């Protein structure tokens, strides 16, 4: 271990090179997040993992753990911030959970439950974006995309295919397919790709698998988000020593 820092007055050990988020998860402390996965370089796009260090906001997924630093995570203000960010993600897209085939297996939905979100609060924008069902195995619904870029990074870093990219900035940004036609059918994407598996919403789904599991047996019906993330991270740490 390289040292320790304090997370809400709890002493957290860390290794050289670990971020605040990684060290917290290794110590069994969950910090909400959506755009981070341990297999990928951190991106800091969703800001759900915002913490305070010396009174200033930082993304826990990119902030290096430093000896003696005091990190504040669990406050009413930060909880309200995370809930507001999640509410904005819901209203900015079309996330109608009862009718979505990813309901019960969706990380955005699970984050909302974890944060105690009861309603969307903000007016819904009801966007109408181009869908792509051209591929025989994978469907792309941009109305459910939160531009976390997990699929972009996973396709490039893990699948070695570079299928996706983000075009534009801010509210005008959108997920694009890297093919002359702009269609999934003209890429090398496959249902087994990590880019598909890592999508935290129903933006990327595998065809003909949507309702295989009944309600009550789906991913987050059996376990809440914090428990699943902590168990998965512990298993990964164990595999890599």
pLDDT digits (tens, 9 = 90+) for 111-162: 999 999 999 999 999 988 999 999 999 999 999 999 999 999 999 999 999 9
Domains of the chain, start order = 3-75 (3.10.20.740), 128-210 (3.30.70.20)
Ordered DSSP codes for 214-239: PTTSSHHHHS-HHHHHHHHHHHHHHH
Q: What is the mean pLDDT of the chain?
A: 94
**pLDDT at position 99, please?**
86
- Give 115-127 pLDDT, tens digit per residue: 999 999 999 999 8
Whether residue 50 contacts residue 36, with contact meaning beta carbons closer than 8 Å, is answered with no
Taking the C-alpha atoms of residue 102 and residue 97, their distance in angstroms, rounded to an integer, is 8
- What are 147's two structure tokens? 């531009």
Q: What is the average per-residue pLDDT within 18-28?
A: 97
- Give 193-218 pLDDT, tens digit per residue: 999 999 999 999 999 988 888 888 89
Top pLDDT among 98 and 40 is at 40
Q: What is the reported pTM? A: 0.93
The residues, ordered by sequence, that sit 6+ positions from 197 with a Cβ below 8 Å of its Cβ are 154
Taking the C-alpha atoms of residue 108 and residue 88, their distance in angstroms, rounded to an integer, is 11
The residues, ordered by sequence, that sit 6+ positions from 99 with a Cβ below 8 Å of its Cβ are none
Q: What is the average per-residue pLDDT within 61-66?
A: 97
Which residues partner with 205 through β-bridges?
A: 139
Dihedrals φ, ψ of 5, to 5°? Answer: -135, 175
Taking the C-alpha atoms of residue 225 and residue 220, their distance in angstroms, rounded to an integer, is 7
- What are 77's two structure tokens? 């203000």
**pLDDT at position 214, please?**
87
**pLDDT at position 241, please?**
62
């Amino acid at each position: 271990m390289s040292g320790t820092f304090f997370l809400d007055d709890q002493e957290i050990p860390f290794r050289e090179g670990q971020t605040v988020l990684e060290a917290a998860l290794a110590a069994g402390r969950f910090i909400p997040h959506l755009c981070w996965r341990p297999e990928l370089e951190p991106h800091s796009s969703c800001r759900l993992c915002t913490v305070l260090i010396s009174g200033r906001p930082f993304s826990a997924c990119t902030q290096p753990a430093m000896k003696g630093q005091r990190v504040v995570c669990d406050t009413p203000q930060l909880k309200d911030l995370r809930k507001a960010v999640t509410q904005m993600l819901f209203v900015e897209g079309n996330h109608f959970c009862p009718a979505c085939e990813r309901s019960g297996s969706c990380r955005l939905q699970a984050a909302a439950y974890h944060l105690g979100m009861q309603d969307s609060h903000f007016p819904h924008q009801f966007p109408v974006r181009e869908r792509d069902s051209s591929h025989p195995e994978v469907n792309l619904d941009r109305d459910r995309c939160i531009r976390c870029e997990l699929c972009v990074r996973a396709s490039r870093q893990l699948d070695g295919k570079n299928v996706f990219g983000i075009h534009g900035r801010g509210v005008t940004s959108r997920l694009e397919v890297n093919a002359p036609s702009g269609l999934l059918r003209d890429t090398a994407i496959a249902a087994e790709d990590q880019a598909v598996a890592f999508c935290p919403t129903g933006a990327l789904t595998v065809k003909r698998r949507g309702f295989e599991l009944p309600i009550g047996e789906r991913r987050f019906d059996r376990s809440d988000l914090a428990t699943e993330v902590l168990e998965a991270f512990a298993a990964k740490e164990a595999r890599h020593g």
